[in-house]
Structure 1
Amino acid sequence: MRMYWTNILFNAILGLAVTNDVTQPDPMVVTHLGRSVSLTCFCPSEMIKSVLWLKQTFGQKPLLMASSYHYSQESSYFNNFIKDFNRTKRLRVKRAEDSFNLTFIETEPGDSATYYCAALKINEIIIAEGTVLIVKGSDSNSMSVLQQPVSESVQPGESVTLNCTVSTETCEGEHSVYWFRHDSGESPPGIIYTNGDRSGQCMKSPESGSPTQSCVYNLPKRNLSLSDTGTYYCAVASCGEILFGNGTKLDVGGNQSNPLLLIVISFLTTAVILSVIINVIFCMRMKRSQCEHCAGTVDYTLYENEEVTM
């Protein structure tokens, strides 16, 4: 059975497509260690023969988890997920007429990954855009990830550096660091950088006898544009687990006002107001001058008429 699906996936790779036949409404799901969470997949097309769930851990190839025929309630399980589905019952899939949902009864650190729902047609595999599942560790975890700054607003063309600090007590050495961005649109988060620019400083805590080690990773962003707007997450893989930072929200060309633009607008507004005032005063003086001239002409005419009459 495993060889059958392997051949199907390999032979259909040329027909790979992303369409509305299969959709995952949640591009990202954040939960805490030990909690239950479900990932939703809609697949309403009648042309679908079967549906699948695949897991892709950061930096690794996708693995087939489960499959089910379109009009069947029975499912098949694969790879190292068989135990979690059949024995421990930690994972579960639910097949409905138009959906195929994946549920984690009790999340573990290793569940942090991107999960893809896919549908098999006659000669192609249709894969949804995926859902990134982030499992945050408990407070007693020996490793923590801190991102700085929490938010940053810049103008187009400017630069900014995002920081990710990893603190660990029991696990020393290199960390696998991934940066990915989630924009405000419908597109799912995508990895933009692997093993971010390390600061080169991993130092022990200055406290005597403390086993804590801190490492800093930087992600420089230069010549920013509006398309760089989004939330940037730092993911750190170390000691058999993956932890995520809370994210840094980057706003490029947001509500900040350009000081030069404000000066220009203020100058033009003042100039217009002064021009209106000057024009009003000029018109009033011209009108008054014309009235006085008219009054003098009328009096002189009357005087001449009186002399003629006499």
Structure 2
Amino acid sequence: MMVFIANIFLLCVLCGAQMNEISQPEALQTLNLGDTATIKCYINSVLTNRVWYKLTIKRRLQLVATFNSDYNYTTFTDERYSLKTNALNMHLIISRTSWDNVGTYFCGVVLLDDIKFGSGTFLMLKGTKMISDSVVQLPQSQSVQSGDSLTLSCSVHTECTAEHMSVMWLKNSGHSAPEMIYSAGNNSSACQPTASGETTCVYNLFMRNISSDDAGVYYCVVTSCGQMLLGNGTKLAFESNPDTGLGSIVIALMLSNVILGIATFILAWTLCRTQMKDYLAADGSAEGSQTSGELTYAAVNSSSRHVAQRQSAVKHRGDSVIYSNIRYCHQDGGAPYWEYGQTRENEED
């Protein structure tokens, strides 16, 4: 009995976990260095153990905070972290943000030894001395088709030297937090000093064999002397290949014609078969009407006078045969006349 109750309880917990909804409405947040960040998370779940995790730009997963609503117990890994919670919300607050706070933050619920996360929020910080046009991305938008190749360009003008420069590329599809698709450390070959003493760096991202999964906004993030500079982004819109669409239409028309031809052939064959059956049935009925029942055979004598009576006998497969006599008589001084007579005999097959 106890095992049964335990199984029912576990089933209810599992059902509650499946029905939960974790929503992080903001996929990307961009703040100035030192500002207070509020990363929102909405949870609709009966589970009480909740967590916050951070995925760093070096792809390391770090625990940020834990929370148990039953005991109102909270733990943090940094004193700058705090939570704003109620029955449905669990917002993470980060005060006095610094460069090490840059990354993707995930809120989740704990089920036994499993954790279910939300879509994530990428927190991006900008330096206070950053000039808005210091990072330029080209092109600003681009329409591509399946199989195309494209090069995204990111140019940076800064007073920092090449030894203190690095770049990473982020992709934001709009359905989840931006993901890092490329990261590179110091690359002196990409940077050239200018006559004014500044440094100009050009970073390229080459994309080949593009598909619909590559659609989204690509951001160039440059680390310059400890500051992160965010580009304006390049929107990549995917278009279906018109030749592919035309080919699909042609194939669909060919298939429809083939199906129509097959249906027409089947219909004609069915009609011909039906008519043939009707014809054979009618022919059989006519023959049957001639070979069943009673048949009458007659022998006609047309001799002028004193013609001997002639009788015709015919073998018949039916139940009976009727023999008929027709006699021509002529009387002197009188009008001629005909005499009829019938004889029935039974005969078995």
Q: Structure 1 length as normaliser, TM-score? A: 0.63
Match of residue 24 from structure 1: 24
1:115 partnered with 2:105: yes
Could you tell me how far apart the structure 1 residues matched to 2:89 and 2:82 are? 14
Alignment of 1:200-279 (within 5 A): 200-207=189-196, 210=197, 212-253=198-239
**Distance change in 2, residues 1:24/1:56 (3 Å):** same
> What CA RMSD, in Å, does the superposition of the two structures yield over aligned residues?
3.2
SS at match of 2:167: strand
**Distance change in 2, residues 1:142/1:168 (3 Å):** farther
1:154 partnered with 2:144: yes
Could you tell me how far apart the structure 1 residues matched to 2:133 and 2:88 are? 41
**Distance change in 2, residues 1:43/1:71 (3 Å):** farther
Match of residue 273 from structure 2: none
Match of residue 54 from structure 2: 55
Could you tell me how far apart the structure 1 residues matched to 2:19 and 2:31 are? 28
Deviates more, 1:66-75 or 1:138-147: 138-147
Match of residue 40 from structure 2: 40
Alignment of 1:90-105 (within 5 A): 91-105=81-95
Report Cα offsets for 1:218-260 as digits up to 9, x if no partner: 1111232232221001122343343321211112228x989xx
Shift of 1:197: 12
**Distance change in 2, residues 1:166/1:142 (3 Å):** same
Shift of 1:119: 1.9
Shift of 1:124: 1.6
AA matched with 1:59 = K
Decide whether the 8 Å contact of 1:199 with 1:216 is kept in 2. Answer: no
AA matched with 1:204 = P
Shift of 1:198: 6.4
Match of residue 181 from structure 1: 171
Decide whether the 8 Å contact of 2:23 with 2:118 is kept in 1. Answer: yes
Quote the sequence identity (%).
34
Decide whether the 8 Å contact of 1:49 with 1:122 is kept in 2. Answer: no
Could you tell me how far apart the structure 1 residues matched to 2:153 and 2:58 are? 21
Structure 1, unaligned stretches of length 5 or more? Answer: 1-16, 85-90, 262-310
1:66 partnered with 2:65: yes
Match of residue 3 from structure 1: none
Could you tell me how far apart the structure 1 residues matched to 2:19 and 2:58 are? 25
Counterpart among 115, 118, 125 of residue 135 in structure 1: 125
Shift of 1:18: 10
SS at match of 1:246: coil
Structure 2, unaligned stretches of length 5 or more? Answer: 1-16, 247-349
Match of residue 327 from structure 2: none
Could you tell me how far apart the structure 1 residues matched to 2:62 and 2:19 are? 21
Shift of 1:21: 4.1
**Distance change in 2, residues 1:69/1:181 (3 Å):** same
Counterpart among 133, 151, 154 of residue 164 in structure 1: 154
Report Cα offsets for 1:172-200 as digits up to 9, x if no partner: 3153322121124x233222222299693
Decide whether the 8 Å contact of 1:143 with 1:169 is kept in 2. Answer: no
Shift of 1:132: 0.7
AA matched with 1:71 = D
**Distance change in 2, residues 1:99/1:234 (3 Å):** same
Could you tell me how far apart the structure 2 residues matched to 1:62 and 1:146 are? 31
Could you tell me how far apart the structure 1 residues matched to 2:19 and 2:169 are? 27
SS at match of 1:227: helix
Decide whether the 8 Å contact of 1:21 with 1:126 is kept in 2. Answer: no
Normalized per residue, which structure has more strand?
2
